[in-house]
C-alpha cells in the first residue's frame, strides 16, 4: 500500500488522553438520572437501563481484569476519527488484559446480524491510527431495531464469547444501541452495549456530550476551502460564491464555518423556521446583501447555505407534503402528461398557496420536485441543488430591482457543495485525541460492567490532560417523538439554538460581515506546529463552553 | 482585520533563498540564445531583446546601488505565491538600497494604462507575506498589446520615476511583457521589463523554467480533497466520484493529482487528442473500468477529468466549430425555434458526422452548446459540466451493457469541480520559497540593467540552498503561432508530453490503479513539521528532474 508522507508521519502520533485515564481508574458515581422529557414513558420502555447514575473515571488502584472479547460497529455516515475510537478501545481493553480481543463487524450493524466480522489485531489497528475514513471495517445504515436482529446478533456474540458491543454512531444509532442494551439486559444475556457519539453534523450533543466527533475536522476542512474561495473572491472581485454545506437536519456546520471564515451571508435553517421565512424572504435577504455590496462597488461575496434549508422553510415543507400526496394519488395520470406540459399541470392541480410557490421555482428545481422520488414516493430533497436554486432566484430578483432602479451592479455566481471533501479527512489533533479518549473510556465502561451508557469526554476546551472521562446513561438524553406515525423513544436531536452563544456571536457580527469584506482564511488543518494552530477546538465549542 | 491562528503563525515564516542570493552577487553570462523555433521571424520582431545570453547569479562582491523605483503588476488568474513574489522583489530592491520604492499597479495591467497604483510600503508588504491570493493589489485580464497602452503606461512610469516593471503572469502575459520590453528598448525609454512565471495550470515551463509558481500548492490542495473523497469512497463503497479539475489547456493538474492520489481513472486530454479518441471512446474507456471493478464486487471509484477535455476531443472540436459557424449565420432563424424543438432543429441542420455526435449528447449539454455563447458568438466550453456529461453517458452505456449481459453492478455517481478551492490557498513551503526567490531574482535582474528577461530559479528539486537563480531571455521561449487568424510571436505553451516521465509513470501504473483500490491520501498541506512532509516538490517536477 503506497502511503503519502503525511500518512507515514501521522501514524506515529500518540493521541493525548485525559490524565485520569493514564493509570488505573475507579468509578465515581453521580446521582441517578432522569430522561430530558417524557420520564414516565421512557422509564417504562427501559426498566433495566433507566435512571442509572452518571459516571466519572478518577484515579484508582490497579486491579487485575480478566481478558474480555469486545465487538465494535461503525454505523451510518463517515466522520473523521472513527479509526481512533477503535484504536483507543483496542488499547484500552489490551491495557486491562493483554489477552483481550476486539472483533469488528463488517459494513455496519448489518455485520452483526449477518455474522460478518473480523478480528482486529495490533497489525491492523496500527495501519489505521490517526487516519480518516471508516474503511478499517466499513460502515452501513442497517438499523438495529427488531428482536430478530437482536437475537441473530446474540448468536454470533455467544459464538465469539463477546462480553460487550461498542456502537459508534449518531443519534439514531445510539438510540438503537440503548434499545439493544435494554433488550439484552431484560433477557439476562450478560452482554453490555456502549455507544459513542459520532456525526460531522454536530447535532448529537447535550449537557453531558459536549460535541460529536468528526464535527471539528469536517468543519475545519470545509473552512479551509471556503477560506481559499474567499481569498479568490476578494482577489478576482467578480463572483458571488454560493456554497452549500453538508448536514441535512441542523445548521451547526454552516454556523461553525461562518464563525471561522466570516462570510458575507450565512443562512441558518433554524432561524428561517423560527421566523417562518418564505423562500422569497430568504432570496430577498441574500439579494439585499448583494445590492448593498454592489452599491459600495463590491460585486462579489460568499453565501453559506446549509444542505437541509429547503426542509426548514415552512412554506416549502407544505408544498413538498402536498406534492408527495398528490403525486402518490395521481401517479398514473401524471405519467401520461407530456414532459413540457408537466409544470403547468402541477400548477393547475395544487392548492393556490402551494401552486404560487411552485410557479415561482426555477424550471430545473420544479422538475426535480416532481420527477426524482425515493422508494417511498417522497421527493428527494437532498437532490435539490439549493445553491443553484438560490442564486438563480437572487439573479432574477436583482434583474427586477435593476429595472426598478433599485440596484446597480453586476451579478455572476459560482456554485460549490462540500460534504464528501470533509467526512473522511484525517482527524485533527482534537478529533484524534477526543476519539481515542472516547474509545478508551468505552473500554473502562465495559470493564466496570456498564451497559446502556454512552462514552463521554467533557471539559474539551481545556487541554486534553484536564478532560473528564466517564459515561452517560443513554436514556438520560431521550424523549418521545413521532417517527413514521408512531411515538418512539429517541435521543433529542440538537438543533442550532437561537439563544445559544454560537448563534448569538454570529448574529452580532453578520451585518458587519455582510457589508465589509471581513474574510478570515483558516488554511488547512495543521498536525505539527504551534499549539494555537494545531490544537484549538471549534468556535462552537469555545463559545458554548465559555462560562 | 481578524486573522486565523495559521495566518498569524505563517506570517513569521522566512522563505528560503538560494545560497547565491544571500549576499552580494555578480552576473555570470552564458552563451547567446536562440528562440525555440522561427528564429528569423522572432529576431526580426525583437531586434533589441533577441539573442541575449542566459544569466546566472553567483556570489560576488558588495557594490553600492542607487535607489530605484520599481512597478509590479499581477496579470491573469490567481496562483498561490503571488504575494511572495512581491515581497521577494520588495526585500530585494530594499537590500540594494533602502531608499528604493515599489509601486503596485492595481487590478492588473489595466492599472498601468489607467494610472491606478499604490506605493507598497513595508507595513503593507508585511501583511501579505506567505499568504494566498492576489488581493494586495488585485489582478486583471487586460492585455498589454497596443502602442497606445505602452505610451499611456510610459506616462505614469515617468511620473513615478520607475526604472523597471515586473509583470507576474502566464505565457501570454510574459509574451506581452517581452513585447513591452522590446518597445521601450526600441524607443530608448530606459525602462526595463522583467517577467515572472505564474500559473496553477503548469503549462508555462521549459528547459530553463522548471515550473510555474502556484502549480505546487494548487495541486496539493486538490489532492487533499480528492484524497478525502477517495477515503470516503472506499469507506461507503457505493459511489463513483467524477472529479473535474481546473485547467483549460493542459492536463498537468489532473496528471499531478493522479500521481499523488492514484485514482481509478484519470483522463489526459493530450492523450485523447493524440489518439484521436471520440467522446464515445472516452465514455467506453471509463465504463469499462466501472464494469471491471463491478465484476470484482467494487461498485465505487474515482475519475479525474481535466477541465479542457472537450476541446481536445477532435470530433467535439469539429462539432463546436460547425455549431459556432452555423449559429452565427442563422441566429435569427434559430431564435424563432421553440425551445422544445431546438434540439431536433440542430440535428437536422448539422453535417451528418456532427449531427450524430450532437444527437448522442445528454439533453442539458446539447442545450448548453446552443444557448450560452460568449460575446464573440462562441460556445463557452468552460460552462460545460464535463463531469456530469461523462457520468451520464457512462451510466447510459452501462445500462446498455447490462441489457446485453455484459455488466452486472450498481452505478451511482457524485460530481465535483475543484478550481477556486486551490487558486488562492496559502502557498506551500515550496511555492513560498520559489516565489520569494523569483521576486528577489527579479530585483537583481533590474539592478543589473536587464530587460526582456524572465526571472528563473532552477534545480528546484534540490534543497532551496542549492537552487540556481538567474534570468532567461523571453525571446528564447518563443515561436510563431496563429492567433485569431494572424501569425504572432508567443511563448510555447507546455502541454503534457506523452513521452515525458510524469505521463509515463502514470501510464505504467494506471491499469493497476483502475483494478485495485490503491488510493493514496495526501492530506492537507503542512507548513510545520518533518521536511519530507512539508518541503516536497510536485511528483511532476520530481519525475521530470530525475536524471
Are the beta carbons of B4 and A224 separated by less than 8 Å? no
Sort B378 into a burial class: Cβ within 10 Å, 0-12 / 13-18 / 19+: middle
Residue A372: pLDDT above 70?
no
Predicted local confidence at residue B328, as pLDDT: 85
Q: Is the pLDDT of residue A381 over 80?
A: no
Per-residue pLDDT averaged across A398-415, rounded?
A: 97
How far is B470 from chain A, CA to nearest CA, in Å?
A: 29
10 Å CB burial of residue B427 (0-12, 13-18, 19+) is: buried
pLDDT, one tens digit per residue, over A72-99 is: 999 999 999 999 999 999 999 999 999 9
Mutation for testing the B interface, residue in A7, A127, A421 having most B CBs under 10 Å: A421
Residues paired with B454 in a beta bridge: B195, B472
User: CB–CB of A525 and B521 under 8 A?
Assistant: no
Closest-CA residue to B150 (of B140, B165, B134): B165
pLDDT tens, residue by residue, B178-221: 999 999 999 999 999 999 999 999 999 998 999 999 999 999 99
Eight-class DSSP state of B242: E
* Cα A338 versus chain centre, distance: 41
Question: What burial class does residue A304 get, using C-beta atoms within 10 Å of its C-beta: 0-12 exposed, 13-18 middle, 19+ buried?
Answer: buried
Confidence of residue A265 (pLDDT cuts 50, 70, 90): very high
For chains A and B, CB pairs below 8 A equal 192
Which of B237, B523, B529 is facing A529, going by the closest CB pair?
Answer: B529
Of A2, A241, A421, the CB nearest to B518: A2
Q: What is the mean pLDDT of residues B105-121?
A: 97
Q: What is the pLDDT of residue B440?
A: 98
The secondary structure of residue A7, as a DSSP letter, is H
The band of A22, judged by pLDDT with boundaries at 50, 70 and 90, is very high
> Hey, are the CB atoms on B229 and A420 less than 8 Å from each other?
yes
- The full 3-state SS of B57-119, as one line of letters, equals EEECCCCCCCCCEEEEEEECCCCCCHHHHHHHHHHHHHHHCCCCEEEEECCCHHHHHCCCEEE
Nearest 5°: phi and psi at A426? -65, 130
Which one of the listed residues A171, A172, A201, A203 is annotated catalytic? A201
Cell 466499513 belongs to A138
Question: Which residue, among B3, B6, B220, would best test binding to A if mutated, counting the most A CBs under 10 Å from its CB?
Answer: B6
Mean pLDDT of A365-370: 84
Mean pLDDT of B227-244: 96
The answer to whether the CB of B427 falls within 8 A of the CB of B217 is: yes
A383 contacts: CB under 8 Å, gap ≥ 6: A368, A372
Residue in A closest to B75 by C-alpha: A236
DSSP code at position A469 = E
pLDDT, tens digit (0-9, with 9 covering 90-100), for B387-434: 999 999 999 999 999 999 999 999 999 999 999 999 999 999 999 999
> Which one of B3, B129, B168, B232 makes the best mutation probe of the A interface by having the most chain A beta carbons within 10 Å?
B232
Q: pLDDT tens across B364-385, in order? A: 888 888 876 776 677 777 788 9
* Closest partner CB to A529 (pick from B7, B77, B528): B528
* Cβ separation B526–A6 shorter than 8 A: yes
Contact residues, chain A, for B77 at CB < 8 Å: 236
Q: What is the mean pLDDT of chain A?
A: 95
To the nearest whole Å, the CA of A77 is away from the closest chain B CA by 8
Among partner residues A260, A424, A530, which is closest to B228 by beta-carbon distance? A424
* Rg (alpha carbons) of chain A, rounded to whole number: 25
Taking an 8 Å cut-off on Cβ atoms, the answer to whether A231 and B518 are in contact is no
Q: In which region does residue A195 sit, left (phi positive, over 0), alpha (psi from -120 to 50) or beta (all else)?
A: beta
- Give residue B340's pLDDT: 81
Whole-Å CA distances, A107 to A78, A126, A137, A141: 12, 20, 6, 9
Contact B523 A424 (CB under 8 A): no
Q: Which residue of A has its CA nearest to B525?
A: A524
Rounded to an integer, the average pLDDT of B291-304 is 98
Per-residue cell: B374: 460568449
Name the residue among B200, B261, B246 with its Cα closest to residue B425: B200
Contacts of residue A426 in chain B, CB cutoff 8 Å?
521, 523-524
Q: Tell if the pTM clears 0.95, that is, is over it.
A: yes
**Best A1, A4, A138, A368 residue to mutate vs chain B (most B CBs within 10 Å):** A4
Task: Quote the minimal CA–CA distance from A251 to chain B in Å.
Answer: 22
* Predicted pLDDT at B532: 94
Q: Which residue of A has its CA nearest to B526?
A: A526
Q: Do A424 and B231 touch (CB under 8 A)?
A: yes
For the stretch B449-506, pLDDT in tens is: 999 999 999 999 999 999 999 999 999 999 999 887 889 999 999 999 999 999 999 9
Cβ separation of B7 and A422 shorter than 8 Å?
no
Give catalytic residues of B, as residue numbers.
201
> How far, in Å, CA of A541 to CA of B71, rounded?
47
Decide if pLDDT at B11 tops 70. yes
Residue located via cell numbers 450478560: A190
Inter-chain touch B532–A9, beta carbons under 8 Å? yes
Please state whether beta strands B69-74 and A453-458 pair in parallel, antiparallel, or not at all (unpaired). unpaired
Residues of B in contact with A425 (CB under 8 A): 228, 231, 523-524
- Residue B62 CA to residue A188 CA, distance in Å, equals 88
Nearest CA in chain B to A341: B340
Q: How many CA atoms lie within 13 A of A530 on its CB side?
A: 11
B247 contacts B256 by C-beta, under 8 angstroms:
no
Would you state the cell numbers that stand for residue B492, as one nine-digit string?
510555447
| Residue numbers in B near A235 (CB within 8 A) | 78, 133-135, 138-139, 424
Q: Does the structure show a pLDDT above 90 at A383?
A: no
CA distance A68 to chain B (A): 28
Nearest by CB to residue A228, choosing from B1, B221, B236, is: B221
pLDDT of residue B382: 75
Q: Where are the beta strands (DSSP E) in A367-452?
A: 413-418
| Cβ–Cβ below 8 Å for A5 and B528 | no
Contact A231 B132 (CB under 8 A): yes
Contact B520 A7 (CB under 8 A): yes
Phi, psi (5° rounding) for residue A304?
Answer: -100, 135
Chain A residues touching B302 at Cβ < 8 A: none
Mean pLDDT computed over A261-273: 98
Q: How far is A126 from A13, CA to CA, in rounded Å?
A: 11
Q: Is A201 a catalytic residue?
A: yes
**Chain-chain contact of B420 with A227 (C-beta, under 8 angstroms):** no
Segment B518-532, tens digit of pLDDT? 999 999 999 999 999
Contact between B493 and B250 (Cβ < 8 Å): yes
Q: If pLDDT is split at 50, 70 and 90, which confidence band does B339 have?
A: confident
- Determine the distance in angstroms separating the CA of A10 from the nearest CA of chain B, rounded to an integer: 10
Please give the Cα distance from A418 to B302 (Å, whole number). 17
* Beta-carbon separation of A523 and B425 below 8 A: yes
Which of B533, B537, B538 to probe the A interface (max A CBs under 10 A)?
A: B533
Examine the pLDDT at B267 and tell me if it is beyond 70.
yes
Q: Which of A7, A224, A232 sits opposite B420 (nearest CB)?
A: A232
Q: Long-range contact list for A405-410, CB < 8 A, 24+ apart? A: A406/A291, A407/A287, A407/A290, A407/A291, A407/A294, A408/A294, A408/A295, A409/A290, A409/A291, A409/A293, A409/A294, A409/A295, A409/A299, A410/A238, A410/A294, A410/A299
ipTM of the complex: 0.96
Q: How many CB atoms lie within 10 A of CB B412?
A: 11
Provide, as residue numbers in chain A, all residues whose Cβ is less than 8 Å from the Cβ of B363: none
Give me the residues paired with residue B193 across strands: B165
The Cα of B522 is separated from the nearest Cα of chain A by a number of Å equal to 5
Beta-strand relationship, A453-458 and A192-197:
parallel
Residue B539 cell numbers, joined: 511528483
- Average model confidence (pLDDT) across chain B: 95
Task: Please tell me whether residue A8 adopts helix, strand or coil conformation.
Answer: helix
- pLDDT at residue B372, rounded to an integer: 65
Question: Min CA distance, A159 vs chain B (Å)?
Answer: 27
Nearest Cβ partner for B533 among A6, A229, A520: A6
Amino acid at each position: 500500500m503506497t502511503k503519502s508522507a503525511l500518512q507515514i508521519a501521522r501514524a506515529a502520533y500518540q493521541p493525548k488522553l485525559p490524565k485520569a485515564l493514564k493509570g488505573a481508574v475507579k468509578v465515581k458515581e453521580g446521582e441517578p438520572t432522569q430522561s430530558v422529557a417524557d420520564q414516565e414513558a421512557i422509564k417504562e420502555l427501559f426498566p433495566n437501563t433507566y435512571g442509572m447514575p452518571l459516571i466519572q473515571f478518577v484515579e484508582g488502584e490497579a486491579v487485575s481484569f480478566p481478558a474480555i472479547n469486545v465487538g465494535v460497529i461503525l454505523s451510518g455516515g463517515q466522520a473523521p476519527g472513527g479509526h481512533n475510537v477503535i484504536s483507543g478501545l483496542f488499547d484500552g481493553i489490551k491495557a486491562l488484559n493483554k489477552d483481550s480481543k476486539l472483533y469488528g463487524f463488517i459494513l455496519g450493524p448489518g455485520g452483526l446480524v449477518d455474522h460478518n466480522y473480523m478480528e482486529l489485531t495490533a497489525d491492523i489497528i496500527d495501519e489505521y491510527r490517526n487516519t480518516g475514513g471508516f474503511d478499517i471495517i466499513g460502515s452501513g445504515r442497517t438499523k438495529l431495531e427488531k428482536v430478530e436482529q437482536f437475537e441473530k446478533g446474540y448468536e454470533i456474540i455467544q459464538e465469539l464469547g463477546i462480553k460487550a458491543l461498542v456502537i459508534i454512531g449518531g443519534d439514531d444509532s445510539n438510540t438503537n444501541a440503548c434499545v439493544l442494551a435494554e433488550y439484552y439486559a431484560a433477557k439476562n444475556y450478560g452482554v453490555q452495549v456502549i455507544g459513542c457519539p459520532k456525526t460531522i453534523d454536530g447535532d448529537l450533543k447535550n449537557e453531558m456530550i459536549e460535541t460529536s466527533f468528526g464535527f471539528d475536522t469536517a468543519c475545519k476542512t470545509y473552512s479551509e476551502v471556503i477560506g481559499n474561495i474567499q481569498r479568490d473572491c476578494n482577489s478576482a472581485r467578480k463572483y458571488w460564491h454560493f456554497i452549500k454545506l453538508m448536514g441535512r437536519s441542523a445548521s451547526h456546520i454552516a454556523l461553525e464555518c461562518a464563525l471561522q471564515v466570516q462570510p458575507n451571508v450565512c443562512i441558518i435553517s433554524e432561524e428561517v423556521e423560527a421566523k417562518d421565512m418564505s423562500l422569497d424572504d430568504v432570496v430577498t435577504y441574500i439579494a439585499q446583501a448583494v445590492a448593498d455590496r454592489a452599491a459600495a462597488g463590491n460585486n462579489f461575496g460568499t453565501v453559506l447555505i446549509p444542505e437541509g434549508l429547503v426542509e426548514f422553510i415552512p412554506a416549502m415543507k407544505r408544498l413538498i407534503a402536498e406534492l408527495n400526496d398528490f403525486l402518490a394519488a395521481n401517479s398514473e395520470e401524471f405519467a401520461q402528461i407530456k414532459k413540457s406540459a408537466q409544470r403547468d399541470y402541477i400548477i393547475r392541480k395544487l392548492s393556490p398557496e402551494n401552486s404560487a410557490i411552485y410557479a415561482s421555482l426555477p424550471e430545473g428545481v420544479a422538475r426535480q420536485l416532481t420527477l426524482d422520488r425515493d422508494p417511498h414516493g417522497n421527493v428527494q430533497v437532498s437532490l435539490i441543488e439549493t445553491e443553484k436554486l438560490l442564486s438563480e432566484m437572487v439573479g432574477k430578483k436583482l434583474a427586477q430591482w435593476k429595472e426598478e432602479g433599485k440596484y446597480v451592479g453586476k451579478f455572476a455566481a459560482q456554485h460549490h457543495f462540500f460534504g464528501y471533501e470533509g467526512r473522511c479527512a484525517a482527524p485533527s489533533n482534537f478529533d484524534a485525541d477526543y476519539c481515542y479518549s472516547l474509545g478508551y473510556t468505552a473500554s473502562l465502561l465495559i470493564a466496570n460492567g456498564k451497559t446502556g451508557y454512552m462514552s463521554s469526554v467533557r471539559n474539551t476546551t481545556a487541554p486534553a490532560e484536564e478532560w473528564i472521562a466517564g459515561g452517560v446513561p443513554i436514556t438520560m438524553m431521550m424523549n418521545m417523538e413521532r417517527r413514521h406515525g408512531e411515538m418512539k423513544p429517541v435521543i433529542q436531536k440538537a438543533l442550532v439554538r437561537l439563544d445559544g452563544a454560537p448563534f448569538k456571536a454570529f448574529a452580532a457580527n453578520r451585518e458587519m460581515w455582510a457589508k465589509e469584506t471581513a474574510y478570515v482564511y483558516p488554511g488547512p488543518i495543521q498536525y505539527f506546529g504551534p499549539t494555537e494552530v494545531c490544537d484549538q477546538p471549534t468556535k462552537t465549542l469555545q463559545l458554548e463552553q465559555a462560562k
